[in-house]
Chains A and B, each alone.
Chain A
Amino acid sequence: MSEQLTADVTIDSRGAGCPGPLMDLIGKVKTADSGTVFELQTSDRGSVTDVPEWVEKAGHELVETVEHDDYWSIYVQKS
């Protein structure tokens, strides 16, 4: 990830299967202010495709996806 990027909200959904991580993100985005950056931590491989699909549909910005040893961090900014 870029060095400047820091998340305002971190959502730890590691260990949850689909659609848990995506629903965790949707729930948090729903009540957040515009511009808020989220880091969704997920160990569910499907999230890597499902989350960007929703982010595009909902008109938010997919900032970056970072692969760690046993999970992914998906950074999303609310439009």
Chain B
Amino acid sequence: MKKDLFSVLYSLDKKIWGDQIATNRYLATVTLICCVLFGVILGSGKFLNGLFDWSLRVSIVAIIASTIMLIGFNIIESIIAAKTAKIATLRSLMITGILISGLVVGFVGSVVALAILTVVITIYLAILLFGALLGGGSGGSGGRKKWKLSNGDEVTEEKGLCGESYYTGSSGTSYDTNDGGNTFYEK
């Protein structure tokens, strides 16, 4: 039997009930994907609204109603496609559970994904800000190079906004170099 992403539930039907049911290859899985996407829209809408007060105009009622409609479609298909009433009932219950789970997984998944993304972005921005505050330029103080000159002055390299280098001695003297720090001369 040919398997693909869009026929996962069809394969499940065939695995459980075999020839006792003749469902469409794609209908159930496509409705499941729709439910997951509804959950994602609801989750991201609520998350962005709660955190940043952005309104995505997501209606919980419309999402629940749409999910119920999709469950209804699958109930019709179950009744028509199953050879016995017992299989039709069991399949309807199974699909109802799967579609509701899809909605919940989409909701929780999108909230978790957005929360992780927010934390990662916040940490990255915090590192950038912290580095800029400590070093006055990008990269922070950890990567800064230092040289001890023969006159006793200690020269420190600082990076400018565009990546250009500035060399300042501990005495306050500004230096420059043409050979990457082998020899320095006063500006």
- A complexed with B: no
Chain A residues in the interface with B (C-beta under 8 A):
none
Task: Identify the B interface with A (CB < 8 A).
Answer: none
